[in-house]
Each structure stands twice: as C-alpha cells, then as structure tokens.
Amino acid sequence: MSETKRNSPLFVDDVGGGLASLAAGVARHAGLVGATAATSSELVAIPGEVLTALAEIGAQVTSVAHLKNLKPAGEVVHLAAWSLYLLAPSEGELERLAAARIARDKIERRLSPSSS
C-alpha cells in the first residue's frame, strides 16, 4: 500500500511498534483521528526519540497493540513498504533522533494531500 485514504488507517510495523506509533501519531496530527498502531513482532517500549520527534510537531504518541489482537476496520498500512527505519538503542542518541526525524518527515510527506 502506498497511500492512506481513509480516516482509520492501521499502521503496522514488524520491529516492536516504534515506527507504527510514530506513523499513527503523525497521521492523527494530520487529521486522521482514527489512526492506530500495531506491530507483528514482540512489543517493546516506544523509543524516546519517537516521543521527541512527535513532540517537535505537536503530535502525541499512540499506544501500540499486537496485530494478532486486532480486527482492522480500515486500511492496513504495512510500513515495511515505506522504507522507514529507527536505529537500535546501541546507536548514538543524535543518530537515533535524526533517524526518527527522517522517518517522521517521510511519513508526513506520504500522508500529505498534495503528494497524493
């Protein structure tokens, strides 16, 4: 899937939920109030750099559920197809924050009506 058209997209990652939470937070900030986040892997805590990247644009983090526990009502957006990534906790703080900001900006562009 390349574009999100509905008001209730479910963003799914396979790396613990950080990317999905970032995408859902950006989507809600952009007006897709029903956007939700899920992961197909084991859940992990949302990385601090995701919280920071969202706060910088006035967006809030969303909770993440495990995909197997959900019955999606809208479009399911698999973020692996969007070439997004966050860095591992072992990487430097500045590098992790830069990667989260880049992912956030890519998500914003994908969701922007002008890029549809």
Angle value at C-alpha 50, between 27 and 63, nearest 5 degrees: 60
Domain annotation covers residue 110: yes
Number of separate domains in the chain? 1
Domain annotation covers residue 17: yes
Q: Please, how many CA atoms are within 13 Å of residue 82, restricted to the half-sphere of its CB?
A: 29
Task: Report pLDDT digits (tens) over 53-109.
Answer: 999 999 999 999 999 999 888 899 999 999 999 999 999 999 999 999 999 999 999
CATH number assigned to the domain comprising residue 35 = 3.40.50.2300
Q: What is d(CA 2, CA 90) in angstroms, rounded to the nearest whole number? A: 31
How far, in Å, are 19, 29, 72, 98 from residue 104 at the CA level? Answer: 9, 11, 23, 10
Domain annotation covers residue 109: yes
What is the four-CA torsion angle of 50, 89, 98, 4, rounded to 10 degrees?
Answer: -40
